């Protein structure tokens, strides 16, 4: 599968966030467990593990506004959601 990280800007340093280019650009965000998450969800094992993750297709970076896919100006919105908290 062809995919590559195609964009990075300052706000993305503050979380597990990245943009991947495939058939279009996807914004990926991982939700990372904090100490409080561990207290509330006993399926979780350690701080820093991924609880769930979402990827949604975007045309613009939501953080800096850069146009990520200059070949088009509209997309069909969709997202993928991955729940990793009960594995
Ligand atoms: Zn950006």
* DSSP state for residue 10 in the 8-state scheme: G
Question: In the chain, helix, strand, coil percent, each to 5?
Answer: 15, 40, 50
Tell me the β-bridge partners of 80.
55
| Model confidence pLDDT, tens digit, residues 42-78 | 889 999 999 999 999 999 999 999 999 888 899 999 9
Nearest-angstrom CA–CA distance, 59 and 72: 8
How far is ligand 1, taken at its centre, from the CA of residue 69, in Å?
A: 12
48: left (phi over 0), alpha (psi -120 to 50) or beta: left
- Overall domain count for the chain: 1
| Structural domain boundaries, residue 69 | 4-83
| Model confidence pLDDT, tens digit, residues 4-40 | 678 999 999 999 999 999 888 999 999 999 999 999 9
How far is ligand 1, taken at its centre, from the CA of residue 10, in Å?
A: 7
How far is ligand 1, taken at its centre, from the CA of residue 19, in Å?
A: 9
How far is ligand 1, taken at its centre, from the CA of residue 60, in Å?
A: 8
**Which pTM was predicted?**
0.83
Nearest-angstrom CA–CA distance, 19 and 60: 10
Backbone φ and ψ for 12, nearest 5 degrees, come out as -75, -10
């Amino acid at each position: 599968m062809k995919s590559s990280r195609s964009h990075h800007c300052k706000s993305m340093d503050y979380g597990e966030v990245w943009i991947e280019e495939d058939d279009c650009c996807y914004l990926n965000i991982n939700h990372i467990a904090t100490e409080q998450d561990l207290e509330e969800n006993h399926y979780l094992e350690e701080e820093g593990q991924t609880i769930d993750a979402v990827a949604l297709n975007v045309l613009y970076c939501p953080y800096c506004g850069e146009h990520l896919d200059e070949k088009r100006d509209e997309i069909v919105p969709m997202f993928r959601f991955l729940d990793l908290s009960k594995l």
